[in-house]
Structure 1
Amino acid sequence: MYPSTAVFAACKHLKLKVDKQKLLEQSCLKKSAFDTLAAELMKMAEKVAPQTKRIAKKRTHVLMDIMENQIKEAEKKSMKALQATEEESQENPEDYEDWKKRIISEST
């Protein structure tokens, strides 16, 4: 009787969802008796642990923000490296046939 109503009252105090019907069945009480006992226990819960409003703090950098910044920086670096290799390949165009001859001559 008391444990199930205490669980219900505690869950309501903490703003957690709980199946009232299951607790009512476990307590073997009528609905009106369950409700009155739960109301009294909720009053006691408020006296024992009053709910305080949470003060909003400034958002600090969390791990995900730091990781996103590092990923963006890495992408920028890789794009710069890719552009540099493209510029090098454009500066030094080598014909396929010349390249093929050079590789064959180096291997022998």
Structure 2
Amino acid sequence: MESDMVASFASKMGITSAKTLRRAEEYVRLSEVKCSTLGNITSTSKAVICLELAATSMKHSLDKEYVIRLSGLNKKQYQSSHKAMECLLGLESGLGLKEMAVQYGCMDATKLAAQILERYAQSLPAAQQSDLDLSKVLFTSAALYAACRCLKIKVDKKLAASSGAKKAVFDRLVMQLQSLGQNLSKEAIPLKGAARSTQKRQKTLMESTEQTEKEDSPSSPKQQREEEEQQPAAQDYEEWKRKILANAMKSTNGAE
């Protein structure tokens, strides 16, 4: 039954590759187990989505608007279901933080989002750290969303939708990550203050060094002229002093 449905929709979608068909059928079987919690998704829409996922993995282009009409869902429902199935089946596009930030116009939040994910991983028990893949779109999108809130950056609502998770699940994760982001921001404030103090100390040291250099440096041209003018006067005084002493000696010898 499922194979017949997949083959029928594949024909309408222009998919003729046997390998793509087999992959789509495999996705349909997996979805019965991994995507059973999804609501608003019929066997028809599931088959169409699985076919698109298989075609995408095989680099086969499709008419997106036609595919959505075949699914029986509206555009918003289709995108949400497609993303959810992609996540649950482990077929995410693998967008990293930077790529996602570029896509949703929040590059300034990238650094904090990465720090939030790192702190989140550290807060988990060792067993969960080894099992959890924080590169999954749910975590990267939630970390970016949380970082944007901390930094008061306007968030594109599509970023939340890209997670593929239910709103309640996404919101709960964002709140948790946002709390970590706020703690990181508070920790950064004393560091900035310490950096300013260090700069002030360095400036004071530089000023002291400059003052010492000024004191040890050669005299200015004006000072040099004054010193040169004073030197002859000192030399004349010494010569006068010598002559006075010599005359005094002669007078003493004459008296004897």
Please state which band the TM-score falls in when normalised by the shorter chain.
0.3 to 0.5
TM-score (norm 2): 0.24
TM-score (norm 1): 0.43
Q: Which has the higher contact order (CA 8 A, sep 6+)?
A: 1
Structure 1 or 2: more helix by fraction: 2
